[in-house]
Structure 1
Amino acid sequence: MRVVISLLLGAASLLSPIAAFAGSHDVEATIAAVNVDGMSLMLDDGKTYTVPDEFNFEGLEKGQKVIVFYTEVDGKRVIDDLEVVQ
């Protein structure tokens, strides 16, 4: 019984990072619009990305190239992280 439990735990630990990675996406694009009141960014790919409440818009402006790491939640693209491309 211990062997079976050990094998199941080992398999679960190997597959859990894959499951977490599968839900995350990234895109490199240019900011088309910044909506501080609506808590979102629109990129030149035509899609809108929602930001979390604690997101800091400081320094972000239209025309900046960014890499956006996001997760799709209930059909919305929610930003997990954002990196400005120099």
Structure 2
Amino acid sequence: MRVMIAVLLATASFLSPLSVLAGSSDVEATIKSVNVENLSLVLDDGKTYSLPEEFNFDGLQSGVKVIVFYTEIDGKRVVDDLEVVQ
């Protein structure tokens, strides 16, 4: 029984760093610029975030404060969700 528990704990500790890579992050910042043609936006943190094709740009403009939920894929920040801060 102890061997079984040890194997399970070792497996869990080995796989735990992989879950961090798949996780989503978020940032609260102000929009610096919006590019509808390239499906991207730049925040005041200086980083560019890619948006999906079906993204609704209504109300997004420079100076709007937002919370961006994103996943980093191949070095690009891809937006999963965006919330305007009132």
Distance 1:73 1:22, change over 3 A: closer
Structure 2 unpaired stretches of 5+: none
Residue type matched to 1:45 in 2? D
Give 1:1-86 correspondences, 5 Å limit: 19=19, 23-86=23-86
**CA distance in 2: counterparts of 1:62 and 1:35, whole angstroms:** 11
Residue type matched to 1:37 in 2? E
Q: Give TM-score scaled by structure 1 length.
A: 0.76
**CA distance in 1: counterparts of 2:19 and 2:54, whole angstroms:** 26
Q: Give TM-score scaled by structure 2 length.
A: 0.76
**Cα distance, 1:19 vs structure 2:** 2.2
Q: Percent identity?
A: 71
Moved over 3 A (4+): none
Superposed CA RMSD: 2.3
